[in-house]
Structure 1
Amino acid sequence: MADRSPEVAEDVDVVVVGAGILGIYQLYRAREAGFTVRLLEQGNGVGGTWYWNRYPGCRFDSESYTYGYLFSEELWRDWEWSEEFAGQPETERYLNHVTDRFDLRRHIRFGSKVVAAVWDEESAGWTLNTEDGHIVRARHFVSTTGVLSVPQFPDVPGREDFAGEAYHTGLWPKEPVDFRGKRVAVIGTGSSGVQIAPAIADEVATLTVYQRTPSWATPLNNKPISAERQAELKAEFASIKETLEASNVGFLHEAHDRKTFEDTPEEREAFYEKIWRSPGFAKMTTNYTDMMLDDEANAEFCAFLEKKIRSLVDDEETADKLIPRNHAYGGLRPPFVTGYFEMFNKPHVELVSLREEPITRVTETGVETAKGLREYDIIVWATGFDFGTGALRRMGVTGTDGLELTEKWADGPITWIGVMASGFPNLFFPGGPHGAAGNNPRYGGTQVDFVTELLVHARDHGKRRIEVPRHAEEAWMTMIENFRQYSRFEEHGQYYGGNTAGKAKAFLLNPGGKPKMMEAIGEAVSSGYQGFLS
């Protein structure tokens, strides 16, 4: 660990912020390329999302081996994931293993929350200040803070007045929380809420799940990875890596070969049953080819899902509340669950629709809605994140001529391939807004590779300043707007910032996917980064 004394200032070639999966990879790539590097991490351990989100039930919904690193065949062969979708403890162990195996920990300064990052034109570099007074000066600043790193609470009167235990799923304590015999409220039914609720349902005395918007949840269908499958994975590393890096979605799933209504009703029903039993995101990536594009095809699949939900939930009124009415499948990020719907058949589990009875206030003893007060020992806030731009907008980033990133992004992020922004030279943010359209590490890994190769090129050609040309940025933003219409994501969801009060509504993903990102990268590289370097 670096010297903790606040008066120490470091000078390095590259400063990386955030020790999640991309930050660890960026640290490795920069060091291997011969740069001096320091990584600043707010927490006290590596893992990023998989460090902070340690709540019961937290796990991957991308297959473990498609989420992990591909840069080392030895690492791939030596590490064995125990499940198709690993739980948080296993993922955190993996990221610590990688950090130590490649001797990266000595380059990381933990407990280092960045509160200011300022560009200096004269020196062509960045100065970063941490909350505890540490200073790092660097030629290049790479933020790998990710899209899910700023947990948010709803603006509910009295939230601080609750006298019991309260936790946010994205800020979970390292010490286990004892739910045994407790009256528990879980507020929120996004990806975190639907994971934690069934994981604790059998421990608690009572469980109340507060739902604002139901989502089209489907079974995760997790299972252990057999010894035979482990051997296959090790033997097929080269082909798996090639497939994952070429895939538009970053999975190994094999796309279907036809549209919905090319099959008979009987064939469609049998196919949907197969899809229901498929793992995780395969329900999207291996479904009928028009399911995400054609309204009638999507409605057909939703009708099947509604029947499934009703078959799993005994109480008709509860089942009604669990059926989405304001979006089609894929309109919001679809969560993948284990035992979620069945949980509501337990006599001590209650579902409260916040559409029917909004929370009016939190009291010392519980949660009050229009229908009265329910008392609890523990409240779990599973209320999501300031998606995409949350961390970048909170680091005090100031670019050329005093331009603040919050000012440039006041109406939503403006980027080039989700990695750079004009007015902010030598700043890169792989894994940020406008970057991904699938399995995040697969997109982010490509972006880290691009950033590293660009830094090497600039060094080798004696260039100190790297800034994306405005015309390239404008072209990327035009692509975002033109392709956004083909996305099913709703504006009230996190991918537009719709879950964050006061946030400008703007699309935060890359609707053009891997092809558009690779096209833009290819143009920059083939031109010798024309217009980027000075």
Structure 2
Amino acid sequence: MEQADVDIVIVGAGILGINQLYRARRDGYSVQLLEQGDGVGGTWYWNRYPGCRFDSESYTYGYLFSEELWHEWEWSEEFAAQPETERYINHVVDRFDLRRLIRFGSKVIAAEWDEASRTWTTRTADGHVVRSTYLVSTTGVLSVPQYPDVPGRATFAGEQYHTGRWPATAVDFAGKRVAVVGTGSSGVQVAPVIAEQAASLTLYQRTPTWCTPLNNHPISAEQQAELKANFEKIRNTLAVSVAGFLHEPSGRKTFDDAKDQRWEFYERIWNSPGFAKMNSNYEDMMLDPKANKEFCDFIEEKIRGIVADQAVADLLIPDLGYGSLRPPFVTDYYEMFNRPNVELVSTRRHPFVRLTEAGIETADGLREFDIIVWATGFDFATGAMLGMGIRGVDGLTLNEYWADGPRTFLGLMCHRFPNFFFPGGPHGAAGNNPRYGGDQVDFVADLICRARERGQDRIEVPLETEERWAATMTKALPFSTFVEHGQYYGTNVEGKPRRFLLNPAGRPALLRVMEKTVESGYAGFLG
């Protein structure tokens, strides 16, 4: 019988992978982390595009497992840019002596469960083979870049980049004719930066979204001192926060106030940081269509007051409510459209026809470019795991088990795949990802420790338990504000089942089910 080389193999050196690695080593397990890239950071390693930064406050996104780490690292900005975040993750890896446990340049191509030995055999593209008792995929939801189905992409003679696979060397936009395709979170970050450098920027927009200011600022010495002094309070607040933020709820409903009071309140919300636009807004804004419509009216006034050309402003006004799509938070985005070198093309009005050697052809003609930037999202939540060749009991592939969409328990494990976990997976998060993911990492680590205490080496979620979580997701889905298209439903990937891939029940349901599972002694999981 084959013996395990290590207790735990982790796949992916992003925020959650490093967290899981830290826990595994702290708990006394032998562990190896496999990372396809040449450095740590995951999303914050691959997404190096200009303008890339947090839209969760830096200190709410980072690790909370070490008070010493909290005190020694000082974030420079409320919303840190990608280079600073990458430095932070490298600091954590070296601070806790984790780098020696990471194998870089190792893309997983196969992982197979053997029932007789109760081990996983994982193989990588560089020929590495490792056996482990447990396999943990922390490949994340934003790992596999997705391109739109436009003919001729390979024929374009200029440079092409995807925001999710940005080169480590700087891209020179000076004097270039640049196209940015996509106006989601990445597109609205990268476009204003490129517009300042390029001879021309053409932004291709399919679906406009309600963008509001990020309102970033340097963290002052006074704020640094306050953060350091309140570590326990902040950690405890984030541990139970519904969305994983520190934002204070307003405690008011929209029509409790007169219109002039509401507009004053919206002005404060407009000038608030990041996701406070949602979390500190009127408490019925996301629930009452009339309340939502009024907030949208306020944002529309702002857009029309910033964008000089009202025909362009018309294209930027969504026909969906606030929160129907993931709301981006921006810096100088609407202001960018007042620049003479910026053009907005609606692909609803003028659909893509093809790419040519010279540029992009839409229904209204050909525009020529030197550089095309694809800010077109990801094969969200499932893409990375379904590309890993995972086989569970009796050779069942994860692709077969998820043929009609993912089936999970707590967004981190599934039936018929023993000793396999995937914190940060589908049906897990619906807010500040490291906070949801941290809950999952700790659940996995505690469950593995419980198995060790009992002298057991096989963990599998019972089918009925998995089905109850699926029922919870289905029951909560009507309360989600997201419309049924885009990467959260998988509709941006041809042939992918239309399934909601977030957790519509939110963090309270996640924590409640975790607590009940622990209180039951993990009934049915261990054997």
Range into which the TM-score falls when normalised by the shorter chain: over 0.9
Q: Is residue 185–residue 209 contact of structure 1 (8 Å, CA) maintained in 2?
A: yes
Q: What is the CA deviation profile of residues 40-78 of structure 1, one whole-angstrom value per residue up to 9, with x for unaligned ones?
A: 001000000000000000000000000000000010000
The aligned counterpart of 2:289 is 295
Aligned to 1:452: 445
Deviates more, 1:267-276 or 1:507-516: 507-516
Decide whether the 8 Å contact of 2:304 with 2:313 is kept in 1: yes
SS at match of 1:319: helix
Equivalent position amino acid for 1:160 in 2: A
CA distance in 1, matches of 2:461, 2:513: 12
Question: Which one-letter code corresponds to 1:195 in the other structure?
Answer: Q
Conserved in 1, the CA contact under 8 Å of 2:4 and 2:119? no
Equivalent residue for 2:524?
Answer: 531
Partner of 2:354: 361
The two structures have a TM-score, normalised by structure 2, of 0.99
Q: Residue 178 of structure 2 aligns to which amino acid in structure 1?
A: V
Whole-angstrom CA distance in 1 between matches of 2:180 and 2:150: 15
Deviations 1:70-119 (A, max 9, x none): 00001000000000000000000000000000000000000000011111
1:136-147 residue pairs with structure 2 within 5 A? 136-147=130-141
User: Given the alignment of the two structures, is residue 15 of structure 1 paired with residue 20 of structure 2, yes or no?
Assistant: no
Q: Would you say 1:90 and 2:84 are equivalent positions? A: yes
Q: Equivalent residues in 2 for 1:24-423 (5 A)?
A: 24-325=18-319, 327-423=320-416
**What's the offset of the Cα at 1:196?**
0.3
Does structure 1 retain, via aligned residues, the 8 Å contact 2:161–2:374? yes
What does the per-residue CA deviation read over 1:505-527, in whole Å, with 9 as the maximum and x for residues that have no partner?
A: 11111111121111111121111
Q: Cα deviations across residues 362-394 of structure 1 (Å, max 9, x unaligned)?
A: 111111111111111100011100111111111
C-alpha distance in 2 between matches for 1:499 and 1:342 = 29
CA distance in 1, matches of 2:262, 2:492: 34
Q: RMSD across aligned C-alpha pairs, in angstroms?
A: 0.9
Residue 230 of structure 2 aligns with an amino acid whose one-letter code is E
Q: Displacement of 1:493 after TM fit?
A: 2.5
| Whole-Å separation in 1 of the counterparts to 2:127 and 2:89 | 28
Question: Does the aligned pair in 2 maintain the 1:496–1:506 contact within 8 Å?
Answer: yes
Alignment partner of 2:170: what SS? coil
Paired with 1:522 and 1:499, the residues of 2 have a C-alpha distance of: 35
Q: Could you tell me which residue of structure 2 aligns to residue 443 of structure 1?
A: 436
Partner deviation per Cα, 1:170-227 (whole Å, 9 max, x = no partner) = 0000000001110000001100000000011111000000001100111000000000
Deviates more, 1:9-18 or 1:380-389: 9-18
Is the 2:79–2:216 Cα contact (8 Å) retained in structure 1?
yes
2: CA distance between counterparts of 1:476 and 1:148?
23
Distance across 1 between alignment mates of 2:4 and 2:340:
59
Tell me, what secondary structure is at the counterpart of 2:185?
A: coil
How far is the alpha carbon of 1:410 from its aligned partner? 1.2
Which digits, 9 at most, give the CA deviation of each residue in 1:442-475, with x for residues without a partner? 0101110110111111012111110001111111
Measured in 2, the distance between the counterparts of 1:46 and 1:403 equals 31
Q: Give the whole-Å Cα distance in 2 for the aligned partners of 1:13 and 1:381.
A: 40
- 8 A contact 1:260–1:291 mirrored in 2: yes
1:425 maps to amino acid: P
Q: Does residue 1:474 correspond to 2:467, yes or no?
A: yes
**Contact 1:18 / 1:41 at 8 angstroms: preserved in 2?**
yes
Distance in 1 between the 2:288 and 2:405 partners?
28
Tell me, in whole angstroms, the C-alpha distance in 2 between the residues paired with 1:499 and 1:235. Answer: 45
Amino acid at match of 1:487: S
| Equivalent AA in structure 1 for residue 170 of structure 2 | P
Q: How many Å apart are 1:501 and its aligned residue?
A: 2.1
Q: Which runs of 4+ in 1 moved over 6 A?
A: none
Partner of 1:6: none
Aligned equivalents of 1:295, 1:502: Cα separation in 2: 33
**Matching residue's letter, 1:141:** L
| More deviation, 508-517/15-24 | 508-517
Deviation at 1:10, TM superposition (A): 7.6
Amino acid at match of 1:277: N
Which 5+ residue runs of structure 1 have no aligned equivalent?
A: 1-8
How far the C-alpha of 1:308 sits from its partner, in A, is 0.7
Q: What's the CA shift string for 1:416-460, capped at 9, x where partnerless?
A: 000110010000000111111110000101110110111111012
**Amino acid in the other structure paired with 1:186:** V
* Secondary structure in structure 1 of the residue aligned to 2:292: helix
Query: Contact 1:389/1:413 (CA < 8 Å) preserved in 2?
Result: yes
| Structure 2 residue runs without a partner (length 5+) | none
Instruction: Give me the whole-angstrom Cα distance separating, in 1, the residues matched to 2:302 and 2:352.
Output: 30
Q: Give the TM-score, by structure 1 length.
A: 0.97
**Residues matched between the structures, number:** 525
Residue 494 (structure 1) shift: 1.9
Q: Aligned letter for 1:31? A: R
Partner AA of 2:354 in structure 1: R
State the one-letter code of the partner of 1:462: G
Residue 506 (structure 1) aligns with: 499
Paired AA for residue 212 in structure 2: T
The Cα of 1:496 is off from its aligned counterpart by 1.2
SS at match of 1:351: strand
1:39 deviates by 0.1
| Alpha-carbon contact 2:148-2:492 (below 8 Å) kept | no
Distance 1:143 1:241 in 2: 26
Instruction: Tell me the secondary structure at the aligned position of residue 303 of structure 2.
Output: helix
Alignment partners' CA distance in 2, 1:458 and 1:487:
36
Contact 1:10–1:135 (Cα < 8 Å) also in 2: no
Partner Cα distance (2:268, 2:154) in 1: 47
Asked if the contact 1:210/1:353 (under 8 Å) is kept, the reply is yes
